[in-house]
Structure 1
Amino acid sequence: MMGGMHTEEPESAGRPHLDRTLLADLLLVPHGPLAALSIVEESESTNTELAAAVAADPAAWPAPALLVAEHQVAGRGRSGRTWQTPDRAALTCSLLMRPQVPRESLSWLPLLAGLATVTALRSTLGLDAQVKWPNDVLVPAGEPAGAQSDDEVDGQALEGWGSLRKVAGILTELLPDGGVIVGVGLNVSQTREELPVPSATSLALAGAATTDRSVILTALAEACISVLGRWTAAGGDAWAAGLVGEIEAASATIGSTVRVELTGGAILVGTATGFAPDGGLLVTDDAGQVTTVRSGDVYHLRLN
């Protein structure tokens, strides 16, 4: 399924439209992993739009299905945060899955999606991507060789982030019919001036091997289907699937000293030492007490 009318517009410099024909060939069955693919020119939020579309006509969205927006104008993150990116400067997509796993296993979804995103960025773009618990993907701060910047924090330690910067965010949602949506927002070609905060970066600024969004989307979709497929095959047991070790290896948080702003305002400081059975973050304080963190904002005080 290739949704939405496509009206040709002048290409922004270095920001072409997604190659719909190529993506259909690579990603749709029988050659690819997706049962349905829809690319729209604009969306307020691909997660919201996909959830509404599935509720309105479930038969039109056989899983796995992917909705991609050329331009997302009201993206949603954790705690109701919103953002907007320049047209065709980012990849914003939402993947519909219907995993046959116990409901309690679904808490692993953000970390699994993070692992898949890291896998795609490492293998395809040559970036040392890492996951910041629970749903941020980070890369080393930097710019392509020869670039000039007067940004004093570029490449330097930034409080709560070290020398890493956020390049992608993940938002997972459960649907009433048992399906799940995995949303990924990935900064691709933004300039430093187009980024909202100093802790953010883009693939272009990080020196990625390519900023071709069609190439990146293909790698991301394939990695997500592969990781989630292994998890589903193991009945939703991330440990039995061998995925927890891979998540730990991809984590910028495990082994780091962290400050956690817990829901309700309490502050926890300690070392992130591992994951709980449900994917919660284990933080050990100076007294040796271990706390399982399941929600809250995590800041890295000292990296591993």
Structure 2
Amino acid sequence: MTPNPPAENPGSRWSDLSRPPLNAAALRRGLTGADSMWTSLEVLERTGSTNTDLAARAREGSAREGAVLVAEEQTAGRGRLERGWSAPARSGVFVSVLVVPPVPQERWGWVPLIAGVATASALARAAGVDTKLKWPNDILVDVEGEERKTGGILAERTDVAPGAASAEVGSGSGSGSGGAGIVLGIGLNVSLRASELPVPAAGSLLLAGATGTDRDPLLRAVLRSFEDWYGRWVAADGDPLASGVLEAYAAGCATLGREVRAELPGGEELTGEAVAVDSDGRLVIGTDAGVQRPVAAGDIVHLRGHGGARS
């Protein structure tokens, strides 16, 4: 069914009837509570960046672990490698959460990959679309036979004011009590039409044939899925093997087995086959010289054969 066209008054809260606002009260009732890791949930009408806002709140002590901050519209959203992330108001899910993992800090790099597994699996169930992961944590969907990015995840370490972490977390493995935490941002294109895509390689759940684009159940599904996977990982003291996170990530990663080009910090490029994700979450690339090299950071380009199209 073709989405309703925008109404004449673009400033109205109901200017696009196919994009109703989130129901903040219902989301709070469904997600926060004594049995949930989510301690608060706030929906902002408009902001620059939910990650920036939540990190500031964590530093000043007005947000505690488990806080969820959602925006109907972001004007200065950021993705990996300082790329911008923009979308029309109420066309996507723009959410940040604050976590203080009670595991050794050298394992904290798994948090955005956990979010990737959680988000991809949640969307597959709640939206009925085939989702894949592009290393490290881009969410891909199929749009007319092409892989398109419909979501991204950005994890940023932040200082956390005393008392913002729970007592249970603060007593874990010597990591949660050090005054540091992670603000994890998830951005998803939900109802963007083809004419609204920021770049040709982008996609949306709508364009991928989603069974529904109601953002309330999608947001609930993503946050509940993250709580489940994060809980498994914490219970295993951050071990990606024992928690099943590494196996799940590898199973859903479209990068593995592909010819890729890694554009590394400093301008270096590395081309080869993506053969594995190691226990540190690094992408292992096998080169033509027979060397397997782990990559911890960089931009990965999927190649359709050498010199193929970028994805």
Q: Which moved more, 1:258-267 or 1:29-38?
A: 29-38
Deviation of the 1:84 alpha carbon: 2.0
Offset, 1:25: 1.5
Partner of 2:256: 254
In 2, the alpha carbon distance for the partners of 1:102 and 1:196 equals 38
- 2:175 alignment partner in structure 1: none
Give yes or no for contact 2:13–2:21 (8 Å, CA) kept in 1. Answer: no
* Counterpart AA for 2:184: V
Per-residue CA deviation, residues 16-48 of structure 1 (Å, 9 max, x unaligned), is 000122211111104654111111111100000
> How many aligned positions are there?
276
Secondary structure of the corresponding residue to residue 53 of structure 1: helix
The answer to whether 1:263 aligns with 2:246 is no
- Alignment RMSD: 1.6
User: What percentage of aligned pairs have identical amino acids?
Assistant: 43
1:51 match: 55
Matched, 1:95 2:78: no
Residues 188 and 204, structure 1, Cα contact 8 Å, conserved in 2 = yes
Map 1:111-260 onto structure 2 (within 5 A). Answer: 111-142=113-144, 155=145, 163-176=146-159, 177-260=179-262
CA displacement at 1:13 relative to structure 2:
2.5
1:25 aligned partner, one-letter code: R
Q: What is the match of residue 17 of structure 1? A: 21
1:39 is aligned to: 43
Whole-angstrom CA distance in 2 between matches of 1:231 and 1:33: 14
Contact 1:25/1:32, CA 8 A, preserved across alignment: no
Q: Give how far 1:11 is off.
A: 4.1
Flag the 1:31–1:105 CA change in 2: closer, same or farther, 3 A. Answer: closer
User: Which of 27, 32, 37 does residue 31 from structure 2 map onto?
Assistant: 27
TM-score (norm 2): 0.85
Work out the CA distance in 1 between the residues paired with 2:113 and 2:258. Answer: 17
Match of 1:64 in 2: 66
1:145 counterpart residue number: none
Contact 1:165 1:200 in 2 (8 A): yes
Preserved CA contact (<8 Å) 2:50 2:70: yes
1:4 corresponds to? none
SS, match of residue 89 in structure 2: coil
Deviation per residue, 1:255-289 (Å, 9 max, x gap): 11111111111221111111122111000012210
CA distance, structure 2, for counterparts of residue 11 and residue 32 of structure 1: 34
Q: 1:253 is paired with a residue of what secondary structure?
A: coil
1:211-244 deviation digits (Å, cap 9, x = unpaired):
0000100001101111111111111111111111
Q: How far did 1:301 drift?
A: 1.0
Deviation at 1:295, TM superposition (A): 1.1
8 Å contact 2:109–2:281 — kept in the other structure? Answer: yes
Distance change >3 Å, CA 106–CA 33, structure 1 → 2? closer
User: How big is the shift at 1:302?
Assistant: 3.5
Are residues 1:295 and 2:290 paired?
A: no
Alignment correspondent of 1:148: none
Give the alignment of 1:74-89 within 5 angstroms: 74-89=76-91
* 2:110 maps to amino acid: W
> Conserved in 2, the CA contact under 8 Å of 1:256 and 1:272?
yes
Counterpart-to-counterpart distance in 2, 1:141 and 1:8: 31
Asked if the contact 1:33/1:222 (under 8 Å) is kept, the reply is: no
**Unpaired runs of at least 5, structure 1:** 1-6, 143-154, 156-162
Distance 2:28 2:43 in 1: 10
Distance of 1:109 and 1:10 partners within structure 2: 36
Contact persistence 1:36–1:63 (CA under 8 A): no
If the length of structure 1 is used for normalisation, what is the TM-score? 0.87
- Aligned residue for 1:179, secondary structure, equals strand
Structure 1 residue 8, shift from structure 2 partner: 7.9
